[in-house]
């Protein structure tokens, strides 16, 4: 039985590999866009979003990165609408969930200190 890989691992590796290929080909613009996408996906993995939110974020970032790298925004008319629906939705959800977790952790720590003191 094979292990299930965390969401984002394959997508993160692909954008990293794409950034390296773009760099090797001398396309600095695509290299920076794909590299930044890789870093943001890696950051999202660190906050351990629930799977559906993690997938939505990964999908939005992948669509954005590859759309910029291959000029899909200019070549396919509807591509822009899809990306600019998925990506802001995923970023907003990830931001809210991350903030909620942070507030819950900080308020739980405060309660524990008050009970001990």
Domain span holding position 26: 9-116
Burial class (CB in 10 A: 0-12, 13-18, 19+), 92: exposed
* Structural domain count of the chain: 1
Per-residue pLDDT at 108: 62
Nearest to 101 by CA among 39, 53, 31, 41: 53
Q: Report yes or no on 112 lying in a domain.
A: yes
Q: Work out the widest C-alpha separation in the chain, in whole angstroms.
A: 64
**pLDDT tens digit sequence for 15-33:** 778 888 888 998 888 888 8
Q: Report yes or no on 23 lying in a domain.
A: yes
How far is residue 111's CA from residue 25's CA, in Å, rounded to a whole number?
55
Q: Report yes or no on 1 lying in a domain.
A: no
Per-residue pLDDT at 5: 44
- 110 — pLDDT class (breaks 50, 70, 90): low
CB contact at 8 A, 51 and 7: yes
Is residue 11's pLDDT more than 50? no
Per-residue pLDDT at 22: 85
Phi, psi of 60 (to 5 degrees): -60, -45
Q: Report yes or no on 3 lying in a domain.
A: no
Is residue 3's pLDDT more than 80? no
Mean pLDDT of the chain: 78
How far is residue 54's CA from residue 41's CA, in Å, rounded to a whole number?
9
How far is residue 84's CA from residue 71's CA, in Å, rounded to a whole number?
15
Q: Report yes or no on 73 lying in a domain.
A: yes
Q: Report yes or no on 34 lying in a domain.
A: yes
């Amino acid at each position: 039985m094979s292990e299930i890989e965390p969401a984002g691992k394959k997508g993160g590796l692909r954008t990293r590999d794409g950034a390296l290929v773009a760099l090797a080909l001398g396309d600095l613009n695509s290299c920076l866009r794909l590299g930044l996408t890789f870093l943001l996906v890696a950051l999202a993995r660190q906050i351990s979003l629930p799977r559906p939110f993690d997938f939505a974020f990964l999908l939005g970032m992948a669509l954005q990165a590859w759309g910029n790298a291959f000029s899909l925004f200019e070549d396919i008319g509807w591509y822009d609408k899809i990306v600019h629906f998925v990506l802001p939705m995923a970023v907003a959800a990830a931001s809210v969930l991350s903030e909620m977790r942070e507030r819950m952790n900080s308020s739980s720590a405060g309660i524990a200190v008050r009970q001990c003191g």
